[in-house]
Amino acid sequence: MKALTYMGKGRFEVMEKPKPRIVEATDAVVRVTLSSICTSDLHIKNGSVPKAVPGVTVGHEMVGVVESVGETVSKVKKGDRVAVNVETFCGECFFCRHGWVNNCTDPDGGWALGCRIDGGQTEFVRVPFADNGLTKIPDNVNDEQALFVGDILATGYWAARISEIGEEDTVLIIGAGPTGLCTLQCVRLYNPKRIMICEKDAARQEFVKSHFPDVIVVSPKECMERTMQLSEHGGADRVIEVAGVDDTFQLAWKAARPNAIVTVVALYDKPQILPLPDIYGKNLTFKTGGVDGCDCDEILRLISEGKINISSLITHTFSFSQIEAAYDLFENRRDNVIKVAIKNDYKENNGEEV
């Protein structure tokens, strides 16, 4: 089968690899029907993910059909349509028992798919701990609607949940990229008093305005002034930073009111500086880190009920044979791209293009 492979810093290549097989009784093999490119894939390509293993098949945003399961797998069976979680987790260690599945202590735990073990920008993928890492897709939810459940939508849901949003709060989301837009939909579930989103790209600003007319859209230049004007207590009650650059990290704590919660779920290319003398007295609570992606059942239920709809984020669709062009478009942010979908265009058994 063909697989997009991380060869080392700056290099991805499509390679031939053997079809994966069941290794552990808790495994499943999934035939990938639709996948996507995440900014984290670009971080791997750029050498910003030290844990990424050269030779690994990249990709962790995918849906597909269960091809086979290990003998102890009970949640899914062959033929089930499933969303694949970005994280694999044992469900039994100290961290998993507390819901902190990103820190699962199993060697294949946490963000492994497409980073430390072969991921989903290919035809088939082996998913460890399948009962935890696979979620059946409801019949009324299509592949496009479910594509981001296991990663950026799980991140947005987790970011909103840990931010402790109340109905009187002003929530500022920094970044209207794919993860920011997923976060926006999840923040709306909490019915805060006011939602603001800060974005510098004009096309993405217009996307938010057209799809979410009740959301206040601001540019980075006007963000501080508008936040102070619209919030009652000297800044936003909750700030969620998903953009991941130096300026947005600084903006996150500056735009927060005293005693606010600042949630940072962005992945940065380099270390950030927290200027503690400058923020002394603001008494901020920072919540940071990778998603604890254990809410996929709930997210799919919300999609099935029409309370979340992220299919509009897919602005471009490519076949797998065009995956290098898809990366070029996404990485260079051409043609107002938000997210791309990669359709598997190879027959199941013989690898020939359809």
- Contact assessment for residue 85 and residue 60, using Cβ atoms and an 8 Å cutoff: no
The structure tokens 């810093």 sit at 9
Q: For residue 349, what pLDDT is reported?
A: 42
Reported pTM: 0.92
- Give the DSSP H/E element, type plus range, for residue 181: helix 178-188
Cα 116 off chain centre by: 17
Q: Give, in order, the Cα–Cα distances in Å from 329 to each of 161, 179, 211.
A: 32, 18, 23
**pLDDT > 50? residue 352:** no
The predicted pLDDT at position 350 comes to 44
Characterise 4 by phi-psi region: left (phi > 0), alpha (psi -120 to 50), beta (else): beta
pLDDT of 351 reads: 45
Q: Is 106 exposed, middle or buried (0-12, 13-18, 19+ CB in 10 A)?
A: middle
Residue 4's pLDDT is: 96
Q: What is the pLDDT of residue 270?
A: 84
Q: Dump pLDDT digits (tens) for 91-139.
A: 999 999 999 999 999 999 999 999 999 999 999 999 999 999 999 999 9
What are the φ and ψ backbone dihedral angles of 149, each rounded to 5 degrees?
Answer: -60, -45
Asked if 146 contacts 137 with a C-beta cutoff of 8 angstroms, the reply is yes
